[in-house]
Amino acid sequence: MLYLVRHGQTYWNAALKMQGRVDIPLNDVGREQAAKAGALLAGVHLDAVYASPFSRTVETAKIVLGGRDLPIIRKGLLVEQAYGLSEGLPREVAQAPGGPMEGYGKDPANFKPDIGGESFEELRERAQRVISEILIPAEKTYENTLVVAHGALFCSVYSVLLGLETKDFWKPKLENGGIGRLRLEKGKLVVLPGLPQEPA
């Protein structure tokens, strides 16, 4: 089984800023969310842990692991979608009509990235690599694997697996500290219901 955990809330999540590739740490709410995810997974014997190399994902992984002595394998493929010059902007400014990330949240099918940003098509290509190079090999090798990464990256993985169009990109979204599950069946990854999440 693959357990996908989105990192806990960061200071920029709380401030509604475009985060992307900027390495912003967890805040106290985010640490609580990670601890709740850890409590839900406390009874699961984990064999391997993969994480995006950012501090918010690595700290979330450490909190979820609790006292379990497992190395965290950092993978650059798991980083968040790049927002280019829009990173650090307030969300309402970046995504406003005429803004540099107009349509990002409400009309992803027509979204064009800011300078230096990553399009949904490019993110989907990377998600396909995440599936083929990380998730399927891990599922073939280990009984239970923890993967800690980011909201848009996980949305893209789900979009690929579920065959969703770009307009529906945000429908299978994990909240901060949320847990999703995947399982390999007949050579293909299948999306299973996620674990229940209490409000932070």
**Domain annotation covers residue 83:** yes
* Cα dihedral 77/37/8/70 (nearest 10): -50
CA 186 – CA 17 distance, rounded (Å): 41
Catalytic residue list contains 32 = no
What type of residue is 45? H
Q: Is residue 125 part of a domain?
A: yes
Mean pLDDT of the chain: 95
121 within a domain of the structure (yes/no):
yes
Instruction: Please check whether residue 92 lies inside any domain of the structure.
Output: yes
Q: Residues 80, 87, 118, 139: which is the catalytic one?
A: 80
The pLDDT confidence band at residue 195, using thresholds 50, 70 and 90, is confident
CATH number, position 119: 3.40.50.1240
Residue 141 inside a domain? The answer is: yes
Residue 157 C-alpha from the chain's centroid? 9
**Distance from the Cα of residue 186 to its chain's centroid:** 25
**Does residue 129 contact residue 162 with C-beta atoms inside 8 Å?**
no
pLDDT band at 198 (very low <50, low <70, confident <90, very high): very low
What is the value of pTM for the model shown? 0.95
User: Which tens digits make up the pLDDT trace of 124-133?
Assistant: 999 999 999 9
- Of the candidates 17, 33, 34, 153, the one whose C-alpha atom is nearest the C-alpha of residue 88 is 17
* Sign of the torsion angle spanned by Cα atoms 6, 187, 76, 105: negative
Q: Which domain holds residue 28?
A: 2-195
Residue 189 counted as domain residue: yes
**Catalytic residue flag (residue 122):** no
Q: Please report whether residue 200 resides in a domain.
A: no
Determine the pLDDT at residue 199: 39
Structural domains of the chain, count: 1
Q: Coil, strand or helix: which one is 69?
A: coil
Q: Is residue 70 part of a domain?
A: yes
